[in-house]
Chain A
Amino acid sequence: MTEPWGPHDVGGQQAGPVDLSEHDYAHWEWQIDAMIRLALKKGLISDFAELRDGIERLTPEDYNRCTYYERWAKSLAYTLVSRGVISEAELAAKIEQIRARQEAEGVA
């Protein structure tokens, strides 16, 4: 079999039993999903292919460590920065603002 191209290319690999438990989506996960749909609708990105590409660029460590919506969030960040919709600096500043707020409110 040809070598997997990236961490997403998992078809046919050895893996463990399937965990069948059901999970509700967290509020923030609905918000991430909605953000992706709105980014497409508003033309901030042109196609889902861009976001799949962003996920495929994650390192294997990142891909396996991140949860499903964390991967989409990282991909969207990469895509929007690449497209110039937001800058790396303002993204970093906002992340730091959120981290500080969470610490101050005792939720971090």
Chain B
Amino acid sequence: MSDHDHEHDHSRTFQPDHPEPTTDAARVGLALRELLIEAGHYTPDEEQVVIAAMQGASPENGAKIVARAWVDPDYKGRLLENGATAIRELGFELEPYEFTVMENTDDVHNVIVCTLCSCYPRALLGMSPAWYKSKNYRARIVREPRSVLGEFGVDLPDDVEVRVHDSTAELRYMVLPQRPAGTDDWTEEQLAALVTRDSLVGTQRQLGSGSGSELPRALRQPRGDHAHAVADRRHATALDQQVVYTCLWSYFPSLTRYCKKLYQS
């Protein structure tokens, strides 16, 4: 039997270009999907629409909200008062959860977790990273937040209060990171480009504009199992990725593309 000469049979979970899981537990999921589609509860087209919507959400959404809050104090006030209303004001669709935005200040650093499962503001941050869902993060961030934050390269002095927010089913959170110094005349677009997913969750504190002691996330992220490299990178000199790329791009576009590909792989 060959389906390959015809259009893909989308009721079949296995497609030749996508590896299929073979554990007993994963087969349960594959089986459910085929049964529900065969029974007409939903169609592969509907499935594609939902997947496309999920894949379309990214931290760029949260970044735009942060940039607007940085440039517009009135908007920031509304955002901190009622997150959902202010977020929808900018045209973003939110699932009907209550939404709270917490502002980082010189004296306070916020970080988010869902210890019981993995609730996460997907509409604004995209899909959650594996570490957010991991037992190790969920177990330790509420008990030893400073130690866990240290693993992310965030070392906080004792005079900065750490607030951990454990999210239950009904509320969602996002951190409003501090605007970096030296960005007074930046456009909203330029500011949004500085905001990282980790800063919106609270596992990054300083955003790069030339100051600070943390590497941008793309440079801190270890490849494969080289987690020990993170500890070394924490002590490395800070690098303003955005500025470097801007300068490089002017003179060496090809080299810039190569550097970006190298660091982000």
Direct contact of A and B (CB under 8 A): yes
Inter-chain contact count A-B, CB under 8 Å? 187
Chain B CB within 10 Å — which of A16, A39, A42, A73 has the most?
Answer: A73
Report if A38-B222 is in contact (Cβ < 8 Å); known contacts: A66-B25, A102-B22.
no
Chain A minimum-CB-distance residue to B37: A35
Interface SS of chain A: helix, strand, loop or mixed? helix
Interface bracket on B: 35 or more
> Which residues of A84-99 have CB atoms within 8 Å of chain B's CB atoms?
85-86, 90-91, 94-95, 97-99
Residues of A contacting B225 in the complex (Cβ-Cβ under 8 angstroms): 21
Chain B CB within 10 Å — which of A17, A68, A97 has the most?
Answer: A17
Chain B minimum-CB-distance residue to A20: B131
Whether B51 contacts A31 by the Cβ 8 Å rule is yes
Mask of B1-43 contacts with A, CB within 8 angstroms, 1/0: 0000000000001110011111111111111111110010110
Residue B172 is within 8 A (CB to CB) of chain A in the complex = no
Whether A38 contacts B21 by the Cβ 8 Å rule is no
| With A26-B18, A94-B35 already in contact, 14 other A-B pairs whose C-beta atoms are closer than 8 Å | A8-B117, A11-B139, A15-B136, A18-B140, A20-B221, A21-B131, A26-B19, A28-B26, A30-B54, A37-B50, A38-B41, A49-B169, A67-B25, A73-B26
Which A residues form the contact surface with B (CB < 8 A)? 8-23, 25-28, 30-35, 37-39, 42, 44, 48-49, 52, 55, 62, 64-74, 76-77, 80, 85-86, 90-91, 94-95, 97-99, 101-102, 105, 107-108
Residue B166 is within 8 A (CB to CB) of chain A in the complex = yes
Which B residues form the contact surface with A (CB < 8 A)? 13-15, 18-36, 39, 41-42, 46-47, 50-51, 54-55, 113, 115-118, 127, 129-131, 133-140, 142-143, 148, 151-152, 166, 169, 221-225, 227, 230
Residues of A contacting B21 in the complex (Cβ-Cβ under 8 angstroms): 26, 28
- Interchain nearest-CB distance for A50 vs B (Å): 11
Residues of A contacting B39 in the complex (Cβ-Cβ under 8 angstroms): 86
Tell me the bound Cα distance from A24 to B216 in angstroms: 20
Chain B minimum-CB-distance residue to A73: B29
Whether B36 contacts A32 by the Cβ 8 Å rule is no
Whether A27 contacts B32 by the Cβ 8 Å rule is no
